[in-house]
Amino acid sequence: MTTPALLPLSGRRIPTLAPGASSFPHHRATLRLSEKFILLLILSAFITLCFGAFFFLPDNSKHKRFDLGLEDVLIPHIDSNKEGKPPGGHIIHGQGGDDEHRHREEEESLRNKIRADHERALEEAKEKLRKSREELRAEIQTEKSKVAQDLKKQDNSKPLPPVPMPKLVGVNDGDPGDPDVKEKRDKIREMMKHAWGSYRQYGWGHNELKPLAKKGHSTNIFGNSQLGASIVDALDTLYIMGLHSEFKDGQEWIEQNLDFSVNVEVSVFEVNIRFIGGLLAAYYLSGQEVFKVKAVQLAEKLLPAFNTPTGIPWAMVNLKSGVGRNWGWASAGSSILAEFGTLHMEFVHLTYLTGNPVYYQKVMHIRKLLAKMDRPNGLYPNYLNPRTGRWGQHHTSVGGLGDSFYEYLLKAWLMSDKTDTEARKTYDDAIEAIERHLIRKSSGGLTFIGEWKNGHLERKMGHLTCFAGGMFALGADGSPNDKAGHYLQLGAEIAHTCHESYDRTVLKLGPEAFKFDSGLEAVAVRQNEKYYILRPEVIETYWYMWRFTHDPKYRQWGWEAAQAIDKYCRVSGGFSGVKDVYSSNPTYDDVQQSFFLAETLKYLYLLFSSDDLLPLESWVFNTEAHPLPVLHQGNLTLPGNNPQR
């Protein structure tokens, strides 16, 4: 049975590449000649041409070889304006035989130099041709390593400006006290060690792991390059779990191997939330400068994606060329709300750490543009054309394609120490429209969030949408019109619905999407919606609800999910998604997603930890569960920031 292809859904996650696609480049069997060797051949041909010209061109003082100023090209260390030569490059005649004699000597000297260079180039070429294939390969690798080291030296020569480190609270421990809870937390930690250890053994340096095939895996969102996505994504989880030896392994790989000067096309959204978010979190937690430096290097590579007529970034960008484009399937070349709307947290921190206002300006421009646009029924469509600045098809979702846009409005306010009131107002208005048009109760009493498609409500909810329960709870405090209690209750109802989607399956793991019509409630109907790919959103909501209510059922539900994952997704080579949660004998999709280490296991670990581990008053989690500190007003040095606001 073949695995169904998973198209990018965007939002909090673009899932996986179509199974069967190779993660490895196709290497040619024939030998690739060294770039240096090719350049030497071209150079020797050029020198031969020049050398021959000296003998075949007439030797007449009226036709000087350098009357065109070519010495600036061939021998740039010679000052073209000395010895009475004007800026135009022409010799001033009539200054006597001394000048003529001197010019002949210079010409002869240059001729001898070219002859020597030519002979040396030919000797090097002959030497190359005498070497074996293995020797040439080794030499090419040595040259590449030297260039990489030189680049590292250049990067390190420009230290980032020092900025005050935000006050960091609760970066380790979190002992729950209760022995039973501690035992559960230790089990989650053991699951993380198994996932990381398997990746370390079988997929090291690759973006993800195929735990059954026991080899590396990559998808189109990373350009099929070996950027070590699982390493970067897992760092902060390893750190808060106290797995410092594993953390150090990851740090060493990043220091020695993580290079963004590669000719690959990547998802701006995914690379931002996983790599920039992961690197920034690792920097804040550990204080290791390398993570900050790498985050800034990558951010600079993403900036060309914003070179569009509207400033709304492309979905994809080539890290080497800076050329951007959008997904072919996205509403006539549109950009996606959850992608261009999920940059704010990371980009604000980039401006804070570098002092460069460009990151802050890019995301604030997006916010200002959206504020000017008409919104049908107060809802934000999922598609926006970056060329015209017009909405694409009118499809609104709090799941894939829309979800984290709303999340980042709320979290922009929280991360600003609740001073970014514009973000809070935008969030409140959006949630009010969502409540009016998308949130309904089923005949069985389950609260769900549907999707708005061209004036019609589709009574279907995705696993991705289940994060919203936690979002409503997180945003309850500060709600307008004393509605804090209402939104905390709404969060609890969404958590209950999503738990039901798990509880009504054979494996006790939730499907990718589930419906609320034709007598079916919280159940997947289509075969291609019955899979579970180690997603975190339901557990994320359990954790937020636990933090705000301490209702023991959330720990109970989280433990049920952890046991089901360990029972049905664990294999000898790691953890794999399953294709049908309603089957007692499911087949695996053979992918250990990087977000399983970044999010699913982190939220489970936090669920069984005390509240003083990463307290929500001091930390805000990006949509990949990477914790970033609140930028308290005393530390905030963003352009245009008004301390009196």
Give the residue carrying structure tokens 């905390």: 488
Based on the residue annotation, tell me whether 270 is a catalytic residue of this protein. Answer: yes
Is residue 2 within 8 Å of 19, Cβ to Cβ?
yes
Using CA atoms, how far apart are residues 345 and 412, in angstroms rounded to an integer? 6
Which amino acid, residue 47?
A: I
Contacts of 69 (CB under 8 A, 6+ apart): 80, 88, 89
**Out of 521, 537, 580, 599, which one is annotated catalytic?**
537
* CA-angle at 141, arms to 136 and 145, nearest 5°: 150
Residues 592, 601, 224, 327, Cα dihedral to 10°: 110
Report which of 379, 522, 526, 537 is spatially closest to residue 453, judged by C-alpha positions: 379
How far apart (Å, rounded) are the C-alpha atoms in residues 613 and 173?
Answer: 7
Question: Of 71, 233, 339, 403, which one is the catalytic site residue?
Answer: 403
Q: Find out whether 207 and 21 touch, Cβ atoms under 8 Å.
A: no
Dig out the tokens for 248 from the structure.
Answer: 């150090």
For the chain, helix, strand, coil in percent to 5 are 50, 10, 40
| Residue 445: both structure tokens together | 């009493």
Residue 512 bears catalytic tag: yes
Residue of 71, 246, 512, 589 with catalytic role? 512
> Is 623 a known ligand-binding residue?
yes
DSSP state of 385: -
Cα angle: 235, vertex 535, 408; to 5 degrees: 70
Using DSSP's 3-state secondary structure scheme, residue 24 falls into coil
- How far is Cα 144 from Cα 429, in angstroms, rounded to an integer? 53
Q: Report the distance separating Cα 113 and Cα 266, nearest Å.
A: 47
List 71, 236, 246, 270, catalytic entry: 270
Nearest to 323 by CA among 266, 364, 275: 266
Rounded (5°) CA angle 441-443-444:
95
Annotated binding site: 623
Q: Which residues are catalytic?
A: 270, 403, 512, 537
Provide the annotated binding site for Ca(2+).
623
